[in-house]
Amino acid sequence: MLLVVLLVSAIPRGALADEPAVTASAAAPVATWGRYPLATSGLYPIWEDTGALLQPAQAQLATSGVRVGILPRLQLGLQPSYYIHRAPNLEAKVSIYSSPRLQLAGRLSAIVLFRDAQDRMITPVYASRVVNPSSVVVLAPTSLHVSWQPWSFLVVHGSATVLPMLSNGEDVANTAASGLSAMIELPIVSGNSLLLHAGEVGLWDHDFAYVGASYRLNYRWFLLQLGYAYRLRAEGAQGSPMLNVGVYL
């Protein structure tokens, strides 16, 4: 899959679409407020992202993602805080189609959960429902993301994800789960957006759904996104704060 991503990324700009712009965000005339007034990534882990990419040689250094535009259609990134929790990870995102109002991207990630990943929380007030005392688990979420801006005040980000979970099977079965998610972004004032988040994971084999809301600010190089989501399962709801603070360089 990584090969496919790299091959697609190597296709010259314009071969897949007439529009030269790589991201809608980049095309928006809002340079005074921030280079990326609209979301360039998801906030909820694994299951959401956008169709937008960073421009080549530009970077986002943030708590929920260090990402760098490598080629016109390729962006590489990682989740830095997972490394603090000893969960190495990497992601590649490639633009498949891009026009001022519509972007389509594919993303391939790999996250390694070493044994006893449930014990890696820094504070004692958060716990994991996944435990792997006997196995190293590799997550390889593979996804398609679309960002569509029908009007200037509305952007819809949709994601379809397949999450293969691979291990030696000593703890849990090797499975692949699917999920759909959407972010509704309302750019209320230049550089300021309200976002509504929702997702369904498992689909026909329902696992959980989530709903949330966040506020995003990009002023010049500064990026802040703060929100809260609830994961909804038959057993109960889990509140989950979400924060992304960083800079665009």
Binding site for another protein (CB under 8 A): 44-47, 61-64, 79-82, 84-85, 87, 111, 117-118, 120-134, 139, 163, 165, 170-173, 175, 177, 201-202, 205, 207-208, 210, 221-222, 229, 231, 233-247, 249
In the complex, minimum distance from the CB of residue 119 to another protein, in angstroms, rounded to a whole number: 8
In the complex, minimum distance from the CB of residue 76 to another protein, in angstroms, rounded to a whole number: 18
| Both tokens assigned to 116 | 């006893």
In the complex, minimum distance from the CB of residue 179 to another protein, in angstroms, rounded to a whole number: 8
Closest to another protein by CB, 99 or 240: 240
As a whole number of angstroms, the distance between CA 8 and CA 17 comes to 13
Closest to another protein by CB, 11 or 224: 224
Closest to another protein by CB, 8 or 226: 226
In the complex, minimum distance from the CB of residue 248 to another protein, in angstroms, rounded to a whole number: 9
Closest to another protein by CB, 18 or 235: 235
CB atoms within 10 A of CB 50: 26
In the complex, minimum distance from the CB of residue 233 to another protein, in angstroms, rounded to a whole number: 5
Closest to another protein by CB, 15 or 122: 122
In the complex, minimum distance from the CB of residue 11 to another protein, in angstroms, rounded to a whole number: 32
Closest to another protein by CB, 13 or 85: 85
